[in-house]
């Protein structure tokens, strides 16, 4: 009799637990602190040249990239992002008097984080105001919003969305030699539903903006890399 009851109850418990695990996993995924590309535009390039009589259809022959995106630059140059028109609020500085300094130094801090990430693609350096590259890619842009959120809000109800930080910026990648825009996109995100304990990607009760800047730099690298994770790559297994 006991064995019969056990075998009847166990499948019901397993049936209940499966959807519960799916719901909890979905909630955990959605609550992860991260940055995402919210909109993007891919630039194209074309050149024209006259052709001889053996070509037909037109006097002008168009050479295009066939929709293939730019990749493998010889070098990457980062210009600190413009921040003069960005909204700056929340727990970013320790006092109102320090806020203008934090705002002025945020582009420098982000340029350093971005350089570390883009060096995985090609040799990268940060430009000074009077420097202009003539080879490779130039990466620049503008900050739109830097919101450090509230440590107090994250302490009491961070897992419900209170006190969350937010960062929004516009990224532009141009070909240094021609000035042609190769990629242009917006990046946005923040601490999301992180509570007081935080994670490796969120500050918890610390300053959230440095984490958001790091997450944004990583997202830009992943966006510009053709195959950052190399999922599916293998060396010795063949299909049959």
Give the span between the Cα atoms of 92 and 104, in whole angstroms: 12
In angstroms, the Cα distances linking 147 to 4, 103, 116, 203, 239 are 59, 11, 23, 13, 50
* 21 φ, ψ (degrees, to nearest 5): -65, -40
Q: What is the pLDDT along the chain (240 residues), one digit of tens a residue?
A: 444 444 444 555 555 454 444 444 434 444 577 888 999 999 854 333 343 444 434 444 444 568 889 999 999 999 999 999 999 998 888 888 999 999 999 999 999 999 999 999 999 999 999 999 999 999 999 999 999 887 776 766 656 767 788 999 999 999 999 999 999 999 999 876 675 665 655 566 678 898 899 999 999 999 999 998 888 887 776 666
Which CATH entry fits the domain spanning 32-43+71-224: 1.20.1260, 3.40.50, 3.30.70, 1.10.1740?
3.40.50
Q: Parse the chain into domains and list their residue ranges.
A: 32-43+71-224
pTM of structure:
0.75
Give the span between the Cα atoms of 68 and 37, in whole angstroms: 20
């Amino acid at each position: 009799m006991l064995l019969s009851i056990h075998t009847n109850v166990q499948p019901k418990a397993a049936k209940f637990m499966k959807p519960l695990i799916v719901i909890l996993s979905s909630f955990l995924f959605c609550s992860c602190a991260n940055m995402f590309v919210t909109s993007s535009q891919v630039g194209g390039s074309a050149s024209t040249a006259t052709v001889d009589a053996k070509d037909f259809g037109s006097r002008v022959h168009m050479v295009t990239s066939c929709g293939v995106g730019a990749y493998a630059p010889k070098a990457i140059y980062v210009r600190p992002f413009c921040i003069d028109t960005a909204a700056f609020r929340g727990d970013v500085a320790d006092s109102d008097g320090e806020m203008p300094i934090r705002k002025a130094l945020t582009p420098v801090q982000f340029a350093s984080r971005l350089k570390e990430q883009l060096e995985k693609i090609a040799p990268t350096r940060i430009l000074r105001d009077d420097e202009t590259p003539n080879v490779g890619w130039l990466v620049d842009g503008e900050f739109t919003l830097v919101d450090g959120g509230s440590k107090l809000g994250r302490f009491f109800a961070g897992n419900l969305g209170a006190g969350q930080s937010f960062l929004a910026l516009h990224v532009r990648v141009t070909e240094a030699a021609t000035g042609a825009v190769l990629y242009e996109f917006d990046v946005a995100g923040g601490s999301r539903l992180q509570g007081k304990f935080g994670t490796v990607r969120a500050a918890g009760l610390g300053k959230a903006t440095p984490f958001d800047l790091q997450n944004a730099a990583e997202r830009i690298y992943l966006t510009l890399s053709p195959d950052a994770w190399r999922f599916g790559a293998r060396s010795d297994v063949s299909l049959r």
